[in-house]
Amino acid sequence: MARKLFGTDGVRGVAGEFLTAELALALGASATRRTQAARPQVLIIRDTRESGEMLQAAVAAGVSAAGGDALLGGVLPTPSAPLLIGRYGFDLAVVLSASHNAYADNGIKFFSADGYKLSDDTEQDIERELEHLEADPTAASGASTRIGRIRDLRGAPEDYLRELHTRFSELDLGGVDVLLDCANGATYHVAPEIFRRLGASVSVVADAPDGRNINAGSGSTHIDLLADRVVQGGHAVGFAFDGDGDRVLAVDRRGEIVDGDELLALATLHLRERGRLTGDGVAVTVMTNYGFHAAMERAGVNVAIANVGDRYVLAELRDRGWTLGGEQSGHIIEMGFNRTGDGIASALLTLEALAGRDLSERDAMAKLPQRLVNVSVGDRDALARAPAVETAVRAAEQSLAGRGRVLVRPSGTEPLVRVMVEAPTEEEAEDVCGRLVALVQQELG
């Protein structure tokens, strides 16, 4: 197994091909052994993919073979895992989901006893053990002669709902007409339920999972569906979750899409006003809109910039002791509530921040027009050796200084160079981006 298994968010691939039952069993056993608990208690939850039951059985077998007890929580959003760890004191949680990917993919990600995802070092240890076991199947480190149990964790959805209700107990949504797009994923039951409990009038789309329709033309990666439905139905606001429920995007009553940058700006100013923005700072990524930075500068809020990926945002928050961070894609982390992105909590936080105002009246930031193009290249690493591109980027940055920004970076996983330009007008963003794209194609294509 001389291959890298863990990516930026666990192990992910086509179920039954890359992500086999054998691999899932081995991962479950290895991660369980690393808990160091005498009898590890391991939570397993999943989204609605048809491969979820197979992988759940395999992971549970691995947990049991390693001497741990596997507690099956059923279909639940990823962010419920850290909250259930805190409630029950589990030694490990396993989430089976490929987030916003199509149904054929699935993934395995782990949360340790402190509620955070496994460290890079622990993931590397697991990879090394599995590679060693492939060469010598009898060499399992810390192998147990005791067999653990596998049983259902009854009431897990209610426990998650209780955590949400406790956090937002003062939020009264009476009279608020909400449309939710659950992506036929893990939020399909719990999201409508918590909104109803808080008093909202709730309508739902994409809440009938069949194992194969998760994220299919719905959810936060296909938000046009929600935008159309909000306008047609005359709803006040709409929220679209992704398949595992750790991100959310919104739509106002006019059908305008509100991305993670705007949601985060609303949350930042709200928590600061409430005295709950630790360090008066917020963590974002390099993709965050320039308008967000301008708004935070006016408000006197510190901004830390991380690489793309919620794990990097989380690392900034932990290093600085801050409370809030997020991504343009809709991952928003409020450390005062959870230790990972929580789409449902973020939607409720948005309504809490609005304090009865309409989302169409939001004024936390003014977004700059953005143009983003992914350019196919032969070697993405060659960008670092392209002086003509570097010179052109520097010139574009100087022309937009104080008015916008330029970002040209290689993809972390694909043979692409991402060219992003933000400018005061659509025309200027399009013009600058077009010239840089042409140069990247010429130099690296």
Whole-angstrom CA distances from 133 to 11, 56, 136, 444 are 18, 22, 5, 41
pLDDT of residue 143: 56
* Phi, psi values for residue 294, rounded to 5°: -65, -40
* Phi, psi values for residue 15, rounded to 5°: -65, 135
> Does the pTM of the predicted model rise above 0.85?
yes
pLDDT of residue 436: 96
Q: What is the pLDDT of residues 74-94, one digit of tens each?
A: 999 999 999 999 999 999 999
Q: What is the pLDDT of residues 44-62, one digit of tens each?
A: 999 999 999 999 999 999 9
Two tokens, residue 135: 């060469």
Task: Read off the pLDDT of each residue in 321-325 and give the average, rounded to a whole number.
Answer: 98
Two tokens, residue 142: 């810390």
Which 3 state secondary structure label does DSSP give 229? helix
CATH of 370-444, one of 3.30.420.10, 3.30.70.20, 3.40.630.10, 3.30.310.50: 3.30.310.50
Task: Read off the pLDDT of each residue in 367-383 and give the average, rounded to a whole number.
Answer: 93
* Phi, psi values for residue 111, rounded to 5°: -120, 135
pLDDT of residue 144: 58
Task: Read off the pLDDT of each residue in 299-309 and give the average, rounded to a whole number.
Answer: 94
Report H helices in 274-407.
290-299, 310-320, 343-354, 387-399
The residues of the chain that CATH labels 3.40.120.10 are: 6-154, 159-256, 260-361
Task: Read off the pLDDT of each residue in 197-206 and give the average, rounded to a whole number.
Answer: 98
Residue 3 reports pLDDT greater than 80: no
Task: Read off the pLDDT of each residue in 409-413 and give the average, rounded to a whole number.
Answer: 81
Whole-angstrom CA distances from 110 to 80, 123, 330, 345 are 13, 9, 21, 21
As assigned by CATH, the class of the 159-256 domain is: alpha beta
CB 230 within 8 A of CB 178: no
CB 264 within 8 A of CB 241: no
pLDDT of residue 141: 54
pLDDT of residue 166: 98
Tell me the pLDDT band of 2, cut-offs 50, 70 and 90.
Answer: very low
N-term to C-term CA, the chain: 33
* Active centre residues (catalytic): 99
Task: Read off the pLDDT of each residue in 384-392 and give the average, rounded to a whole number.
Answer: 95
- Beta-carbon neighbour count of residue 155 at 10 Å? 11
Give the DSSP letter of residue 212.
Answer: S
pLDDT of residue 273: 96
The residues of the chain that CATH labels 3.30.310.50 are: 370-444
Q: Rounded CA gap, 272 and 288, in Å?
A: 20
Q: Quote the mean pLDDT of the chain.
A: 95
DSSP codes joined into one string, 293-328: HHHHHHHT-EEEEE-SSHHHHHHHHHHHT-SEEE-T
Lowest mean per-residue pLDDT among 4-13, 20-29, 42-51, 229-238: 4-13
pLDDT of residue 142: 53
Query: Thinking of the domain 260-361, which architecture would CATH place it in?
Result: 3-Layer(aba) Sandwich (3.40)
Two tokens, residue 369: 């027009």
pLDDT of residue 402: 87
Lowest mean per-residue pLDDT among 131-145, 287-301, 338-352, 419-433: 131-145
pLDDT of residue 137: 64
Tell me the pLDDT band of 4, cut-offs 50, 70 and 90.
Answer: confident
pLDDT of residue 285: 95
Q: In terms of residues, how long is the chain?
A: 445
CB 33 within 8 A of CB 110: no
Q: Rounded CA gap, 227 and 195, in Å?
A: 19
Which 3 state secondary structure label does DSSP give 168? coil
Lowest mean per-residue pLDDT among 15-29, 317-331, 403-417, 420-434: 403-417
Report H helices in 111-186.
120-135, 156-167
pLDDT of residue 1: 42
Residue 139 reports pLDDT greater than 70: no
pLDDT of residue 8: 81
pLDDT of residue 133: 83
Cross-strand pairs, 336: none
CATH number listed for the domain at residues 6-154: 3.40.120.10
